Each structure stands twice: as structure tokens, then as C-alpha cells.
Structure 1
């Protein structure tokens, strides 16, 4: 009797095992027919269509297991893309806010008036607002501005005279 060991391959996990003598152990095949059934590479051809179908089905099942979580991965990739887009929007808004603050400070204009999608546009708008504000005449602030005028005591006599001369009709 020949001492053979069972060599397992990936297909053996799916229920297919091939019996191949291990080199250096046991006896060498004596007949030429035995030598031709087990080639040098250790491959044994399937003996029936059913065995071939089982091997193919096992291989297909292994491939399908590789991609079983494909839909989950696709969903995660879509969620990642959404989060990345949201992050990009937040970074852009933060960068624009820095541009607006810098331009408002540089040109001494209110930040909420500034518009523009790029640093150059924001700076140009801030400069235009600053130039427009400088061109307007600045009115002096008078002391007591906003208070009602005090009428002098002799004012009542003048008012009576004005009513006589210019009667209301």
C-alpha cells in the first residue's frame, strides 16, 4: 500500500480534495499508467461533469463572497463624498470670512457690507466702499444737537406781531 497524504488547495475548502503523494515519502508509482494519472504539478483533472460543476460553483461562491459587502462599501463611499463636500463648503466659508475680516480691517469698512467670491473681489469691493465713503461730505457735530431751542422771553411779543401782520386764513 502507498503512503499518500492529502494535499489541500483552495478548492479543498469547498469540499474538493485531491490525493497526491508527497514527494520523498512512500513508494514511487511502478506502472506507467499510475505515473500518467498524477502529473508532476499535482493537478488531477475532474473525473466527471458533476465534479467539474462543483469545483466551478465553489470558485464562483468564493468570488461572490469577496464582493458581498459591495453595496455597503458603495453606500459608505457616497456618504464619504457627501461629508467631504460639506467639509469643503465649510472650509471655503471660513476662508471667505478671513478675507472679509482682513479687508474690513484694512479699508476700515463694515464687514457685513462686503461681497465677493474671491479675495480679489472682496478687496475690490472694500476699496470701492471706502472710496465712496471718503467722497461724502462729513457733517460737523454741533454741541447740543438734537435739543429743542429755547425761546427768549421777548419772543411772545414778536409772535403776536407776526400773527397780526400775517393772519392765517
Structure 2
């Protein structure tokens, strides 16, 4: 590959990266300073998921010394292996709707999400804000995802929620 072709390829890759970053909205970050309250987003994919209507297994807190940057936020991980998986494919592991409540997005807004109120659907991580909201979300998960996807296009550019997660005491990532 000659120098011109390599420069053109590098410029195209840089432009694509900037376009992807510009398309991504602000990640929800709470008082911990971490995305998903410092919980390990890769670990959700290894947890035993409970059936609809049952409380999920709690998320796994990350370690403040094992981190990666994505979508303008710092994500914490419980292991270096999980961090490496995330770095290799962050879009696969990052929560939908920039870490905002999936049902909130279905209703047309950006509200925070509790990292212990999660569900993986079609290999995507969705978070919700409260137990009551989880009930509404689970009444029609496919319908709520459709509404969220439709609404997300118009609300995605808005600033991230700055609200605190109700009834949630964040475990700061472990050191």
C-alpha cells in the first residue's frame, strides 16, 4: 500500500470515528464519576438472567483501577479480561440509550438508570430506573424497545440526565 493510500485510509477511519462519536449522545454518569455507576457492563453478559417478573441478579461493581473510555465516559471493570473485551467491541457491551432508563426513553425522555435493574434482550443491555418501572417495561418489552428506538432518534442529541438515581446507593467502584 503506498503512502497516499495509507493516508487516505487513515483519514477515512478518523472521519468515521468522529462521525460515530458525534452521533453518540452524552453517556449518563452519576456521582461516582463512572458510566453505569461504575458497574462492569461486560459482567452482565455472564450473569444468570432471571425470567421476566423476577428480580435480576445484582450487577458486578467495577474496579476504579481497571477502566476504559467510551462515548465520553469512563467505564470501570471487575477484571482486566472484561476491560479488554469491552475495548475490543464497546458498542456490544455499552448499555442502550447511553445508559439511560429504557422505559424512560420509550416514554420520550432521558432519566437515569439503576445498574441493578437490567435485562439483556437480543444481546443488548437495557437498564431501568426503579422496580415499578421495570414492571411497566416488562409488560411489553418488544413494544417498549420499538417505542424507545423511535423516540431515541429525536432525544439522543439532548444532554444526558443529571438526576440522581432514586432509591439507589451507588457502590463506588472498588480500588
- Which structure carries more relative contact order (alpha carbon 8 Å, separation 6+)? 2
Same fold by TM (over 0.5)? Answer: no
Instruction: From the two aligned structures, give the one with the greater helix fraction.
Output: 1
TM-score when normalising by structure 2:
0.23
Bigger fraction of residues in strand? 2
